[in-house]
Structure 1
Amino acid sequence: MITATAMSGVIPPVCTPLTPAYEVDTASLTRLVDHLLDGGVDGLFILGSSSEVAFLPDGHRKVVLDTVLGHVGGQVPVLAGVIDMTAPRVLDHVRVAVGAGVDGIVATAPFYTRTHPAEIAIHFRAIAAQAGVPLYAYDLPVSVHSKLGADLLLELAAEGVLAGLKDSSGDEGGLREVLVGRRDRGIPSFSVLTGSELTVDSALWMGADGVVPGLGNVDPHGYVRLFRAASQGDWAAARAEQERLLRLFGLVHVGGPHMGRGSSAMGAFKAALHLRGVIDHPTTALPQIPLAAGEIADVGKYLAEAALM
């Protein structure tokens, strides 16, 4: 289902387990990778948002790369986020990731800097020119504060600069515009993956190639069932699985108003993995606020309702 330039299926953004001292917990990370592979996923995306990449120093990023790639050993393709503010900084991460053996890299538009579409195009062209592996654009306007327009993405795809897109914009109309434009321009190898994990069935029906679901860390089997049902044209089964996952996703809100949404979501994912026996600690990176014991217990209720405990 995956070639050197196109990806499809379920590609979870792998969480980064941490010790209470905020070091990468490599034993837990390898167990998490095995948990995902056992779930039947088609690839892995490390060092993305659900990996807490924005909080990880470069040394931690390298540990994640070496641990995951060494453990996977080519069983599935591995994409790595090379996310940073500008192309020169991104290229430093590209060299490390490519040297470690990744199958592709994922980059956002530049941020904390100019973000005119012409400058975004230069940014991606500069990265692709030196990468030596497929480059996937990450559309994440909530963090980057710049939406990647369909015309820009399709132009870069037609040039061979971009191998694909991870669309976490939440803009379903914009996603459809990319999918229709891909067909109209005759560039089927341009892989379009949704990061909107609660509307995967809709995205697949529109023609998306796969999903990059943060909740897939907790329940990879569910997303694989959803994708397979959609691939077989069983849209009723796909919708039923999506609705089950929608209810499970409620766990991201257990943190309440005393912390940010990101702290609550990451804390919930890690608490769920801890309760399921996959990782040793539910530690989230600083300065995120950790879940309290009662909130972790609430995560357990969602897992029980989903028959995951």
Structure 2
Amino acid sequence: MPLPAPLSGVVPPLCTPLTPDGEIDVRSLRALVEHLIGAGVAGLFALGSSGEAAYLSDGHRRTALATVVEAAAGRVPVLAGAIDTTTARVLDHARTAAGLGADGLVATAPFYTRTHPVEIADHFRRVRAGAGLPLFAYDIPVAVHTKLPAATVLDLAADGTLAGLKDSSGDDGALRRLLVALRRRGLDRTFTVLTGSELAVDGALLAGAHGVVPGLGNVDPAGYVRLYGHARAGRWAEAAAEQDRLAALFALTDVGEESVMGRSSSALGAFKAALHLLGVIDCPATAAPQVPLGDAATKAVCRFLEEAGLR
């Protein structure tokens, strides 16, 4: 389906349910799509960080994206992560996504080797030209070790290379300055800015962001839809109260024991454990070599769900 310009609202980055032996759990992924669309989300982002795209084989990526596109059935747009180290590999993923019916693409700057802003701009232009779909830049320096320069984003927005930005930089000040610059150039009416922060959505929307891509939105999509609705209606006290509730729920991402697992394993494991406890997916398995949550951590996830009013 054609992408709105700008795309606004809640666009969760889908988790990718797996079977105990590491295959894509198609039934559970379909159920997750229904869980999110039923809550009123504005779009779906498949194969992002919350979708464990970095851990999936190319075949698993294709299966996951094809399942999401088919399950969405044109009811909301589907953005597909085309995330890889180099332009050639990103183009391969992008063309596959276009062939499977994705409505837009999300790509990071190249990584592994160090890149210059001139090279980053050329990378995005080649991906946009080669795939023929609207392209969103994914600013996630914790993963790719490069903060997208604001000047580069502004130039690529102005010339139509980029349709939008998913900001997961954690730099709220830089995001605010970028939003101001977009407004001054009259680009805010067509260029989408989505915050990737689960914890500062009300502030980002007040500053001019168009929506949010919350990993926690897999677990409580209705909460983020309510938050967005309050903000758009100018009910800032209600938006802040909903944001506070979601911030408390987000603490479930820290349940994993730090001595045995990384923070990504803890967060993704908690999202999947929550979805399993809520009856949305059949198995909470995460992709190898991530360490799975233990029983105590899973019980802690259950307590957070209860405290948030979800169980």
Range of TM-score over shorter length: over 0.9
Q: Which residue of 2 aligns with 1:127?
A: 127
Is the partner of 1:49 in helix, strand or coil? coil
**For the Cα contact (< 8 Å) 2:167–2:195, is it kept in 1?**
yes
Match of 1:300 in 2: 302
Per-residue CA deviations over 1:118-169 (Å, capped at 9, x if unaligned) read 1101110111111211000000000000000111101100010000000000
**1:79 aligns to 2:79 (yes or no):** yes
Maintained 8 Å contact 2:3/2:104:
no
Distance 1:287 1:114 in 2: 26
Give the secondary structure class of the aligned counterpart of 1:256.
Answer: coil
Shift of 1:114: 2.9
Give 1:24's aligned residue. 24
Partner of 1:277: 279
In the alignment, is the contact (CA less than 8 A) between 2:3 and 2:103 conserved in 1?
no
User: Who is 2:219 aligned against?
Assistant: 218
Superposition RMSD in Å? 0.8
- Give the ranges of 4+ consecutive aligned residues of structure 1 lying more than 2 Å apart after TM superposition: 2-6
C-alpha distance in 2 between matches for 1:3 and 1:54? 25
* Structure 1 residues 238-272: Cα deviation after superposition (integer angstroms, max 9, x where no partner): 00000000000010011021210000000000000
Mapped partners of 1:196, 1:295: distance in 2: 23
Q: Hey, what does 2:7 align to over in structure 1?
A: 7
Q: Residue 165 of structure 2 aligns to which amino acid in structure 1?
A: L
Report the equivalent of 1:52: 52
User: Which residue number in structure 2 is paired with residue 193 of structure 1?
Assistant: 194
Who is 2:249 aligned against?
Answer: 248
Deviation of the 1:11 alpha carbon: 0.1
Structure 2: distance between partners of 1:186 and 1:249: 35
Could you tell me which amino acid in structure 2 is paired with residue 301 of structure 1? R
> Match of 1:26, as an amino acid?
V
Distance in structure 2 (CA, Å) of the matches to 1:250 and 1:12: 18
CA distance in 2, matches of 1:4, 1:132: 16
Corresponding residue of 2:98:
98
Letter in 1 for 2:95: R
Contact 2:30 2:67 in 1 (8 A): yes
Distance 1:10 1:290 in 2: 28
Aligned residue in 2 for 1:268: 270
- Alignment-derived partner of residue 288 in structure 1: 290
Q: CA offset at residue 6 of structure 1?
A: 2.5
Q: Distance in 1 between matches of 2:54 and 2:157?
A: 27
The code of the aligned residue for 1:304 comes to: E
- Structure 1 residues 103-114: aligned runs within 5 Å: 103-114=103-114
- After superposition, give the CA deviation of every residue in 1:193-236 in whole Å (9 maximum; x if it has no partner): 00011000000000000000000000000000000000000000
Give the structure 1 partner of residue 178 of structure 2. 178
Per-residue CA deviations over 1:42-84 (Å, capped at 9, x if unaligned) read: 0000000000000000000000111111111100000000000
Q: Which moved more, 1:212-221 or 1:175-184?
A: 175-184
CA distance in 2, matches of 1:276, 1:180: 40
5+ residue gaps, structure 1 = none
CA distance in 2, matches of 1:164, 1:32: 25
User: Number of residue pairs matched?
Assistant: 308
**Structure 2 CA distance for aligned equivalents of residues 29 and 106 of structure 1:** 20
Describe the shift of the 1:45–1:148 C-alpha distance in structure 2 as closer, same or farther (beyond 3 A): same
Aligned-partner SS, 1:244: helix
